[in-house]
């Protein structure tokens, strides 16, 4: 099992976007979600939250993942902003479901994170994704390669949309 997961996470890194190719994250142009993917993601996140401080651990991993990231959060009060990750994942699921509220929520993130605002370069989103996957591997005791595929689909679909707004 750990071998399979390791193989899978290597694939996640190998699939990660490059500077030249951030417009088609993971080379995907269309994404098909089954209701099973969305249920798998929601249940996985629920199990992880139940296990402990997922959000604290996610930010710990994210901040350590790239030297450009910690300064971006220097004004952030994490105890007040604990819901950022949960909010982001809920929006990703709603967006994957094709709900208008998901798209309008992601539009807000796309705007606040673009070049003229927080200036989160598209190259950095792979660290966000890898940090989330690493956190899930630690906290969701039922995680398996199939659930990780569902996570990848849901995350990639939203990250692609957010990254495409970088120069807006």
Kindly list the residues in this chain that would bind ligand HEM in the complex (CB under 6 A): 69, 72-73, 75-76, 81, 84, 87-88, 91-92, 108-109, 112-113, 118, 120, 124-125, 127-128, 158-159, 162
- For residue 64, the minimal CB distance to ligand HEM (Å) is 12
Helices and strands of the chain, counted as H and E runs: 8, 0
Residue-wise burial string across 34-50, b where 16 or more C-beta atoms lie within 10 A, e elsewhere: eeebbebbeebbebbbe
CB–CB of 157/96 below 8 Å? yes
- For residue 50, the minimal CB distance to ligand HEM (Å) is 21
Least distance (Å) between residue 144 CB and ligand HEM: 23
* C-beta of 46 vs 70, nearer to ligand HEM: 70
Say if residues 17 and 155 touch (Cβ distance below 8 Å). Answer: no
Identify which of residues 1 and 80 has a Cβ nearer to ligand HEM in the complex. 80
């Amino acid at each position: 099992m750990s071998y399979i997961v390791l193989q899978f996470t290597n694939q996640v890194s190998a699939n990660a976007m490059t500077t030249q190719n951030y417009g088609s994250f993971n080379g995907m142009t269309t994404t098909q979600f089954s209701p099973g993917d969305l249920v798998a993601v929601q249940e996985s996140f629920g199990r992880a939250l139940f296990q402990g401080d997922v959000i604290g651990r996610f930010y710990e991993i994210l901040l350590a993942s790239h030297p450009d990231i910690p300064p971006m959060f220097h004004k952030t009060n994490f105890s007040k902003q604990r819901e950022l990750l949960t909010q982001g994942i809920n929006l990703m699921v709603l967006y994957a479901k094709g709900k208008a509220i998901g798209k309008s929520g992601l539009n807000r993130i796309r705007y606040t994170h673009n070049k003229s605002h927080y200036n989160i370069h598209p190259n950095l989103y792979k660290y966000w994704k890898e940090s989330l996957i690493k956190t899930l591997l630690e906290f969701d005791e039922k995680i398996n390669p199939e659930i990780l595929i569902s996570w990848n689909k849901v995350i990639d679909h939203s990250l692609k949309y957010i990254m495409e707004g970088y120069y807006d």
